[in-house]
Copies of this chain bind each other. A is one copy, B any other.
Amino acid sequence: MDSKIVSLRSKLEIYKAGSGGGNIADCPVRDVIQGISNKWSSLLMMALAEKPYRFGELRRLVPDISQRMLTQTLHDLQRDGYVHREVFPTKPPSVEYSLTDLGRSMFGPLHQLLQWAELNHGAVRAARNAFDATET
């Protein structure tokens, strides 16, 4: 019986239906997780965990992200405090993105998940194939 189970309901429920207030920020897990569980965030965190990168470098490193989503995802990661953005007065000016301490702290557990993914890719693919075979 660990305590996570006891407090699950309060972590999930963000607000009661009906009158009062209630905001998504009332659920810490959702508030934080939804910022990093989107298509590009974990990928960019992974890149920046290696070393700081400039905008164009990231774009080349992740060739199928659009400039629009790269800008926006970096902006969101910066807003949540995971990423630091620094402009250098070169001509033309260059911008470097790096992880903050908070970003590195968050990358710890994220990295565990990424490693799980790498290790269990085969099992997931197998499950998918099995599922697709029976449902057709």
Asked if A81 CB lies within 8 Å of chain B CBs, one says yes
In the bound complex, residues from chain B placing their C-beta under 8 Å from that of A121 are: 28-29, 31-32
In-complex Cβ contact of A81 among B41, B111, B116, B127 (8 A): B127
Residues of B near A43 (CB, < 8 A) are 12, 29-30, 33
Asked if A35 is at the interface of the complex by the 8 Å CB criterion, the answer is: yes
Contacts of A110 in B (CB 8 A): 113
Q: Please, how many angstroms separate the alpha-carbon atoms of A110 and B25 in the complex?
A: 20
A residues apposed to B, CB below 8 Å: 4-5, 8-9, 11-17, 25, 28-39, 41-43, 46-47, 50, 61-64, 78-81, 102, 105-106, 108-118, 120-121, 123-128, 130-132
